[in-house]
Amino acid sequence: MPVIDAVVVGGGPAGLSTALVLGRARRRVLVVDTGRPANAVSSTVGGLLAQTGVAPGELRRVGRRQLAEHPTVDVRTAAALDAEPSGGGVAVTIEDRAPVLARALVLAHGLRYDPPPLPGVGPLWGRSVFHCPFCDGWEVRGRRLAVHGNGPQAVRSALLVAGWTDDVVLCTDGPARLEGAEPVLARAGVRVREDPIRRLRGGSDGALLAIEFITGPLEVRDALFVRTQRDQPNRLASTLGCRLSAAGTIVTDVDGRTGIPGVYAAGDAATEHSRSVANAIGFGSRVGYAIVLDQLARAAS
Ligand SMILES: Cc1cc2nc3c(=O)[nH]c(=O)nc-3n(C[C@H](O)[C@H](O)[C@H](O)COP(=O)(O)OP(=O)(O)OC[C@H]3O[C@@H](n4cnc5c(N)ncnc54)[C@H](O)[C@@H]3O)c2cc1C
């Protein structure tokens, strides 16, 4: 079995960033990617320094082109199916390829984000139904916004979104459980609507037009912020025995070490909060440094 320095699972911002550091350090790296990034549905990446209006796919294409200048980096479209510790490294099973033995494995495969199953949400997700105001709030600032959710978490989200507009409706989709937060919400100008939602009414190009309720008038809204259900997108972390946080992300130290020899994680897969392209790039880069330095230390010991 050929031995290389690292296999990176995931060719998103995190994985490409790790591969760039390793490629520049002349390490032999294989990046495998199935091409299903978290933000595939979005038209642009918001909040990335020096990149205004860049599309997620374009960012990856430019990243891959940059990596192509590094002869020790190989980027393939394929799925990593399995991984197990083996002979001081990690043996990785990759779709349609011979298994690869690597000194390091980087789990940079992102997270799966599922919006709540509101009727009509599908074509609007990532276009006018969002999960993160830091990513998309600026583009809808000053507009008619809504937040879907209930309980303290939803109160926090509504207060956060109120920073981007004076017109926010918190849709609790049933009897509100606001635990005394009504005055705070009122002070922030957030209206509360308890009627159960019937469906989201959308227009062309994924635009939200209105929220329809089982009872009462509809709410004309330009965007809706929701809470997503998030999971690891595959079983690699659990198969390897990586520890997961309550949020379902891989637990690592600041440099992405999982505690399992040779196994690192970067990007969304290992980020409990504040997940973004910028943070994934930074995390991926740190992991690249850590791999080079750890392998050097091991070789010297
Ligand atoms: C709807 C939406 C909109 C967003 N908008 C923004 C925004 O405007 N600005 C911003 O900064 N952030 C935004 N984000 C967050 C941002 O997309 C993520 O933080 C970022 O993409 C994380 O990068 P990553 O490399 O960790 O994961 P990803 O970009 O998700 O890439 C992971 C890659 O790994 C691949 N993969 C998974 N399993 C395997 C496997 N077994 N084998 C091989 N490959 C595999 C996937 O196909 C994918 O290509 C948004 C997220 C969502 C869900």
The per-residue pLDDT for range 106-139, each reduced to its tens digit, is 999 999 999 999 999 999 999 999 999 999 999 9
Can you say whether the dihedral through the CA atoms of 141, 142, 144, 146 is positive or negative?
Answer: positive
Residue 209, Cβ density class (10 Å: 0-12 exposed, 13-18 middle, ≥19 buried): middle
Is pLDDT of 59 > 80?
A: yes
- Atom of ligand 1 minimally distant from the CA of 10: 34
Is pLDDT of 2 > 80?
A: no
Is the pLDDT higher at 108 or at 301? 108
% of the chain exceeding 70 in pLDDT: 100
Predicted local distance difference test score (pLDDT) of residue 88: 84
Task: Judge whether 231 and 211 are in contact, CB under 8 Å.
Answer: no
Is pLDDT of 97 > 80?
A: yes
Q: Which two tokens stand for residue 20?
A: 């760039």
- Atom of ligand 1 minimally distant from the CA of 33: 44
* Mean pLDDT of the 222-249 span: 97
Residue that is written with structure tokens 């595939």 in the block: 40
Domains of the chain: 3-113+229-300 (3.50.50.60), 116-225 (3.50.50.60)
Q: For residue 157, which amino acid is it?
A: S
| Pairs from 135-143 (Cβ < 8 Å, separation ≥ 24) | 135/46, 135/47, 135/276, 136/46, 136/223, 137/161, 137/163, 137/164, 138/46, 138/47, 138/164, 139/44, 139/46, 140/164, 140/165, 140/222, 140/223, 141/165, 142/166, 143/167, 143/222, 143/223
* Mean pLDDT of the 262-276 span: 97
* Mean pLDDT of the 199-212 span: 96
Centre of ligand 1 from the C-alpha of residue 36, in Å: 8
The answer to whether the complex's ipTM is over 0.95 is: yes
Centre of ligand 1 from the C-alpha of residue 85, in Å: 26
The pLDDT-based confidence of 299 (bands split at 50, 70, 90) is: very high
Q: Which residues contact 166 (CB under 8 A, 6 or more apart)?
A: 142, 189
The pLDDT-based confidence of 87 (bands split at 50, 70, 90) is: confident
Q: What is the mean pLDDT of the chain?
A: 97
Taking CA atoms, 53 is separated from 46, 57, 249, 291, in Å, by 7, 12, 28, 33
Q: How many CB atoms lie within 10 A of CB 158?
A: 28
Q: Whose CA is nearest to atom 42 of ligand 1?
A: 79
Predicted local distance difference test score (pLDDT) of residue 301: 87
The pLDDT-based confidence of 298 (bands split at 50, 70, 90) is: very high
